[in-house]
Amino acid sequence: MVRTSLAAGMLLVAAARAFAAGPDLGLAGQLVRDGKYQEAYDLLRPFEATAAGDPAFNTLLGEAALNTDRAGAARGFFEHALAAEPGSLAAHLGLGRAYLALGNYASAKIEFETVLRFDDLPADLHQQVEIYAQAAQGYAEGKRLLGSGYAIVGVGNYHTGAIGGGPNNDAFFSARVGGSLNYELDGGYALDGSLDYRYRNYHDNEDRRDDSDLRWNAVVSKTIGEGNLAGGLRGRVSYRGDGQYRNDVGVYGNYRFRANEDNQFTIGAEFRRRNYPEGPLRPRSRNIAELTGNWTTSLLEGKASFSLAASGGREFATDNRPDGDSNFFGLSPTLNFTLNEQWGGFVFAFWQNDRYNIERLNVGPADEILGITTRNDNLYEAGGGLTWQFAKGWTLNPEILYIRDQSNILAANYSSTEIWITVRKDF
């Protein structure tokens, strides 16, 4: 009896010493890396109260909880980690994965974008978050180079209205391929880059040019608490027909800020050069200075998100553009939504006003002079689409786009409607 009591006492003393020493984070980390999440959870859970202020402890416990189907608890652990260390990449990405597991896709995307920057994601909110989550899982497994890629093919019809030189109908085939890379450095820094190539062939109209467009982006970013600051270069090379090209290159910076789990704000600035190197389009070359702002908010318990983007700036004519310099201002609302794990969609609108500063002749269709005026344009776009994920990483996407350029200069008026359907593969 005495020996039993003595043994029990010794065990209690050993347990008390172990508890007083705190959790073995080294062992817990190894268990997580080995995929032994339940063992890691059992090891760390008894210290939840005493180690609540330790960001490393909460991140490991959150990872263990998330991988043992305790998404609600994991969310709380990752939030505790961020409260103690707001710039923790692992906690930000873990919290994003916890939101995804809870079905709050909009908040998951906001959280992921505090760290990651991927361009040209699918239109569906749920698919966007799945791609971010795959990269976040890679980071949790110790990977520094994170990425995403895609390939798209489709067919459609391009209809030009009477005020756009039509009516005219052109069937087309389209193809697109690209991807983004994100390399996480120490100190919250990251190197980000993307390439996107687009091609469209109007196979039923030999008189119409094919469209070809290559876009690129290279940026350095840093996660700072609940925000992400970035600066870099981006541009595009576009084929304009008859051997003519348009080259765009700009330097830009922006700052994303997560105000709370439901709201994100972004402000940015860019100075870019749009250059037509030679030929009849050269007078359109110009320099552009632009300021941008964006607000994104979560709706319907994270099953949808609404964004409102605003932009304004000035175009500086550099090659005797007939209309001179111009000031512009625009707004663009977008709604992304998820109906279920297979179906989603989006709708958007765009408006921009351009006011030029040089008077010019306004010439009618019969070459009659309608007067001398300063050009003032209103550009409108509206569109939307659905996404059907019929297999993992595969989506079918019907879309529609309407464009209307309304100007007090008759020759600048234009309208068109495009309808197309694509198959997209994300990897």
Judged on CB neighbours under 10 Å (0-12, 13-18, 19+), 393 is: middle
Is residue 315 in some structural domain? Answer: yes
Residue with tokens 């786009």: 401
Same domain, 77 and 185: no
Which of 59, 85, 111 is the C-terminal boundary of a domain? 85
Q: What is the mean pLDDT of the chain?
A: 90
Residues 409 and 300 in one domain: yes
CATH (domain of 26): 1.25.40
The whole-model pTM stands at 0.88
DSSP string, 137-148: HHHHTT--EEEE
Q: Would you say residue 405 lies in a domain?
A: yes
- Range with the lowest mean pLDDT among 3-12, 100-109, 142-151, 394-403? 3-12
**Full residue range of the structural domain in which residue 7 is found:** 2-85
pLDDT in tens, 350-385: 999 999 999 887 776 656 676 788 999 999 999 999
CATH classification of the domain holding 174: 2.40.160
Contact 265/259 with Cβ under 8 angstroms?
Answer: yes
The residue among 36, 52, 85 that closes a domain is: 85
> Tens digits of per-residue pLDDT, 304-323?
999 999 999 999 998 888 89
User: pLDDT for 204-260, tens place per residue?
Assistant: 666 667 889 999 999 999 999 999 999 999 999 999 877 889 999 999 999 999 999
| Total domains, the chain | 2
**Residue 256 in contact with residue 226, Cβ under 8 Å?**
no
Whether a cis peptide bond, with omega within 30° of 0, leads into 280 is no
Amino acid letter for position 223: T
Q: How many residues does the chain have?
A: 427
Phi first, then psi, for residue 217 (nearest 5°) are -155, 135
If asked whether residues 66 and 160 sit together in one domain, one would say no
Residues 6+ apart with CB under 8 A from 149: 177, 178, 179, 180, 426, 427
Same domain, 202 and 63: no
Question: Per the structure block, which two tokens stand in for 232?
Answer: 């870099």
Q: Give 284's DSSP letter.
A: G
- Overall average pLDDT of the 265-294 stretch: 95
Question: Which among 409, 257, 248 has a CA at the least distance from the CA of 324?
Answer: 409
Do 246 and 264 contact (CB within 8 A), yes or no?
no
* Last residue of one domain, picked from the residues 85, 104, 130: 85
* Exposure of 211 in the CB half-sphere (CA atoms within 13 A): 13
Q: What is the mean pLDDT of residues 285-303?
A: 97
